[in-house]
Amino acid sequence: MFLHGTSRVNEQGHLEIGGVDVVELAKTYGTPLYIYDVALIRARARAFKEAFQRHGVRAQVAYASKAFSAVAIVQLAAEEGLSLDVVSGGELYTALAAGFPPERIHFHGNNKSRDELAMALEHGIGCIVADNFYELELIEELAASCGRTVPVLLRVTPGVEAHTHDYILTGQEDSKFGFDLNNGQADEAFRRVMASAAFQLLGVHCHIGSQIFETAGFVLAAQKVFAKLAEWNKEHGFVPAVVNLGGGFGIRYTEEDDPIPVTAYVDCIVEEVKRQAEACRLPLPEIWIEPGRSLVGDAGTTIYTIGSRKEVPNVRTYIAVDGGMSDNIRPALYGAKYEAALANRVFGEPTEVVSIAGKCCESGDMLIWDIALPEAKPGDYLAVFCTGAYGYSMANNYNRLPRPAVVFVENGDAQLVVKRETYEDLIQYDLPLKTKVKK
Ligand SMILES: Cc1ncc(COP(=O)(O)O)c(C=O)c1O
Ligand SMILES: N[C@@H](CCCC[NH3+])C(=O)O
């Protein structure tokens, strides 16, 4: 078992995070419970920023809030001097409600609605990452109606397809996102944006995938982006102010994962951008990245209470917890793997191999297959590690399970930052059936 950040085992054999006993947190706030190690998030944010500072380049590290969006995490991102990537009106609303500086917000998405774009313009957000021709039309209309020029990046698909541990070249990019670099779409988008007074073209954005462990895909993406920028510079005199190479930096969920340090991604990105800018005789643009998972993933731990046990003789033992695919859909959706421990007996000797089942009415609702644990009894607490990214943000109310609370811990202090949903919350938008009027 690998303890991340400030996690340790205290004298009672309990898991402690941020100087706070997790068993006490479970008793106070109930389970399932998401716990975030704030010091670890700060450390990750600083590592990214300092890596750029060491190179002496202008850069923005934008937290991709899709990984975990809530007022408190957005405020923490602001405190740490990050920028923010939002991908919907809801994420934008959260950011604005949290008081995040609008000029440091970047708005993504492959189908932003007119209302979402109007909201972004009204609040003067930093830039819109324009994804498609329909969106360019909407922005143009909105800009005309409010007499504004809108800062945009063009999202391009570079024909680099990144997989978890691998990347392959695709001649023809098959993606719902962005303007294809290879088939003329990106050129057409560039011409339209340059021809219209509605836009201020800052530069180009691309994002090659998520949970990537190698730097080669980023290098290749940078090369493809600069090849296009060089063309646009030569033919139209365009000088990009910004190149955004997205997020996707991998983290360690289990011992099968072997991520490189965040600094290694930054080093390779900066070096390649410098090399390319020089080769294309372009001034060095500001470099933007958008990490989500690598800022918050391993800072999150979910605590469950163990309930029922079912033996299938000679096959396996199922241990059920009080959450599941409703608070962590990643195992069901991607076959994602996690490590876990009994939070109230962390270093108890493993005595059996069990499989951790969620409580949703789906056979596929399994959190972990075949994990060695000390004998788990009803009422024990299970800690599942590295649930900080795409856990709460993809949580749902399947089977009408209320979404768990979220607690931040730091320096021995715990703060509730998202309340647990109640049954009343679950039916708050339900309306009763209309009574039929008898004739
Ligand atoms: C455009 C964009 N930027 C940033 C991210 C963040 O990715 P990750 O959480 O893997 O760093 C994503 C998600 O994959 C994305 O689609
Ligand atoms: N939600 C995914 C990653 C998608 C990232 C957003 N483009 C995950 O949990 O791994």
For residue range 96-121, list pLDDT tens digits in order. 999 999 999 999 999 999 999 999 99
User: Is the shortest distance between the CB of 67 and ligand 1 below 6 Å?
Assistant: yes
Torsion angles phi and psi, residue 22, rounded to 5: -65, -30
- Asked whether residue 251 carries a pLDDT value surpassing 70, the answer given is yes
Ligand at minimal distance from the CA of 394 is: 2
Question: Of 201, 203, 285, 296, which Cα lies nearest the Cα of 247?
Answer: 296
What are the strands of the beta sheet with 20-21, ordered from one edge?
A: 8-9, 15-17, 20-21
Q: Which of 165, 213, 290 to mutate to test the pocket of ligand 1 (most atoms within 8 A of CB)?
A: 290
- Residue 348: its pLDDT value, please? 83
At residue 437, the pLDDT reads 74
- The interface predicted TM-score of the complex, written ipTM, equals 0.99
Phi and psi for 140 in degrees, rounded to 5?
-60, -45
Q: What's residue 396's pLDDT?
A: 98
Contact 48, 291 (CB under 8 A): yes
How far does the centroid of ligand 2 lie from the alpha carbon of residue 109, in Å?
14
- For residue 3, pLDDT over 50 is answered with yes
Render pLDDT for 310-353 as a digit per residue (tens, 0 to 9). 999 999 999 999 999 999 999 999 999 999 999 999 988 899 99
Taking residues 145-149, what's their average pLDDT? 91
- Is 381 marked as a binding-site residue? no
User: HEC profile for the chain?
Assistant: CCCCCCCEECCCCCEEECCEEHHHHHHHHCCCEEEEEHHHHHHHHHHHHHHHHHHCCCEEEEEEHHHCCCHHHHHHHHHCCCEEEECCHHHHHHHHHCCCCHHHEEECCCCCCHHHHHHHHHCCCCEEEECCHHHHHHHHHHHHHHCCCEEEEEEEECCEEECCCCEEECCCCCCCCCEECCCCHHHHHHHHHHHCCCEEEEEEECCCCCCECCCHHHHHHHHHHHHHHHHHHHHHCCCCCEEECCCCECCCCCCCCCCCCHHHHHHHHHHHHHHHHHHCCCCCCEEEECCCHHHHHHHEEEEEEEEEEEEECCCEEEEEECCCCCCCCHHHHHCCCCCEEECCCCCCCCCEEEEEECCCCCCCCEEEEEEEECCCCCCCEEEEECCCCCCHHHCCCHHHCCCCEEEEEECCEEEEEECCCCHHHHCCCCCCCCCCCCC
State the closest ligand 1 atom to the C-alpha of 205, by its place in the atom list counted from 1: 1
Quick one: pLDDT band at residue 168, thresholds 50, 70, 90? very low
Q: State residue 164's pLDDT score.
A: 45
Q: Does the annotation list 285 as a binding residue?
A: no
What separation in Å is there between the alpha carbon of 391 and the centre of ligand 2?
10
pLDDT, residue 160, reads: 84
Is there a binding annotation on residue 248?
A: yes
How many C-beta neighbours within 10 Å does residue 364 have? Answer: 11
Q: How far is the CA of 3 from the centre of ligand 1 (A)?
A: 25
Query: Is any ligand 2 atom within 6 A of the Cβ of residue 155?
Result: no
What distance in Å separates the CA atoms of residue 407 and residue 414, rounded to the nearest whole number?
Answer: 7
pLDDT single digits (tens) 87-98: 999 999 999 999
The whole-number average pLDDT for the span 12-35 is 98
pTM recorded for the entire structure: 0.96
- Structural tokens at position 59: 């850069």
- Cα atoms found within 13 Å of the Cα of residue 270, Cβ hemisphere only: 20
Tens digits of residue pLDDT in 175-234 = 899 999 999 999 999 999 999 999 999 999 999 999 999 999 999 999 999 999 999 999
State if residue 330 touches ligand 2 by the CB under 6 angstroms criterion. yes
Q: What separation in Å is there between the alpha carbon of 268 and the centre of ligand 1?
A: 18
pLDDT digits (tens, 9 = 90+) for 361-413: 999 999 999 999 999 999 999 999 999 999 999 999 999 999 999 999 999 99
Q: What is the mean pLDDT of residues 409-436?
A: 96
- 167 pLDDT more than 50: no
Q: The dihedral of CA 248, 252, 257, 259: what is its sign?
A: positive
Q: What structural domains and CATH numbers belong to the chain?
A: 8-37+298-420 (2.40.37.10), 108-291 (3.20.20.10)
Q: What is the pLDDT of residue 173?
A: 65
Average pLDDT of the residues in 67-85: 98
Angle subtended by helix axes 133-146 and 114-122, to nearest 10 = 50
If pLDDT is split at 50, 70 and 90, which confidence band does 165 have? very low
Whole-number mean pLDDT of the chain? 95
